[in-house]
Structure 1
Amino acid sequence: MQLVSGAETFSDGAHVTEPVRDGLRVIVVLDGAMTLSVGDQPELVVDRPTVFAVFSEGESARDQRFAPDLTFRYVLVWLDSDLIAQELGAPPTALFATVGRSSSGGALALAAQPADAGLQAVAGQIIACPEGPQHNLYRSAKAMELLALSIDALRPAERRPSISRLTAADITRVEAAREALIAVMQRPPDIDALAAQVGFTPRRLNDAFRARFGSTPYAYLQEHRLQTAYRALSSGARGAAECAYLVGYTPAHFATLFRKRFGMPPSALTRRAGALRTTGSLERA
């Protein structure tokens, strides 16, 4: 298994034509936009948090274009075909609804779904993981968690909501709802007020939000709050109580949600950030 993560900004965009090679790649995109064409598979357009997988037996032609002036944040996990077959108890093609042929005549498949709050959380943790003695172990464990969630999301039987059900006007409205939530995350409006603000009924807003972002508005907001707090705590610039109020929680409620989401109390992350700063200062001295 190989794990790659990062954040890149292409001022003039980027165009990649190197072939996709043998194996299964699972990618979670958190930010940015791109298009991807692989072999005979339909073109994939990514313009929101998305999980997608590419499986190729042998090499397959690729045409990948990244949008200019947007930060592209992603996590990629590569698995050997034999390993994924062993773990699934079935060939990798079982993950895909349709399978084509690679340039070398083997199987080729591509599948994508909106990345829900859980996938976004784990991918964000991998990217935000600070360097330290347990860095590789932590990232490897999170990579396995990411794979499990991704495989669950991508199985054809899941039949998750598709963005194709939304009109252009729906997308504009639901994105306005997301921006409104984020702008006032300390004191968000209730679902009725938020829906009225963007011209939806509450039920339609929930359905459209799930199709566009993979979760309900308030599940998305909770994940955004916790990820914002995680980044602030990781930097060491703020304490747990300050981060709680920053994202709209009381310290006690924040501590409960944070432990449930990340498997540790906020204070543990604060201590880790402090230890890393101390180590860095000693090394420079």
Structure 2
Amino acid sequence: MAKPTPPTDWVHRAPPAQGLERIEAFFSGHGYDPHRHDTYAIGRTLAGVQSFQYRGGWRHSLPGATMVLHPDELHDGEAGTQEGFQYRMLYVEPALIQQILGGQPLPFIKDGLSSDPRLAAATDTLLGSMHSPLDPLEQQDALFDLAQALNAVSGVPLQRQRFDYLAAERARELIHGALERSVTLDELAEHSGRDRWSLSRDFRLLFGTSPYRYLTMRRLDLVRALLMQGQSLVSAALMAGFTDQSHMTRQFSKTYGLPPARWLKMHGR
């Protein structure tokens, strides 16, 4: 008697939206190696058990809970049962949250899982259908609700720290215009009008990652877009400012938990 064919892992990306990425995916077993994003990763498990290591312990996401992984926190992913797991995830740039909250320390959800109904309600629109684009105003309203819910559910009062949001934002804008070349902290400091170590601290506090990691992630965003357009790995790496393909591949695997060739295959390319 023939053995049943194991289900195939897949990822479906929703139509693009400015400042965020939405996916729905299925994994039959191992999903991702340890990796980190410079965005919030917010989602919900649709079926099965989604198990991952996060901040020193195992987490097991079941349907009904909301996952909220803080920017730059190491995590992995795998099926908690033999049935595999299906989930939807939203990746939100901290800069969008900052624009809504007006410049303050990023909200943090302890343990990466929450059963709070405010978060469930605030993510309904953004984690809805993956097959149609969001209306721009609908997206903006949903992001406002999400930022307010994150702030409310985080619940831990933080000590007020002195920081310069406008300086950090100027540095972030310079990075977006310099993906193809080297950027130094001194250059960012001069452009922002803030001393380099204060700027480095503020950038981490306000955008959830270091300036260099932020630059690397924006380059990887460009790599993924170029690969989906049919560019080769070599061409995409060079066009996005990496020194060569191997440099890009190392960064890609560290960031997304799988190499670019497997990523392409899961997207049907």
Compute the TM-score of the two structures, normalised by the length of structure 2.
0.47
Larger radius of gyration: 1
Compute the TM-score of the two structures, normalised by the length of structure 1.
0.45
The one of the two structures with greater contact order (alpha-carbon pairs below 8 A, sep at least 6) is 2
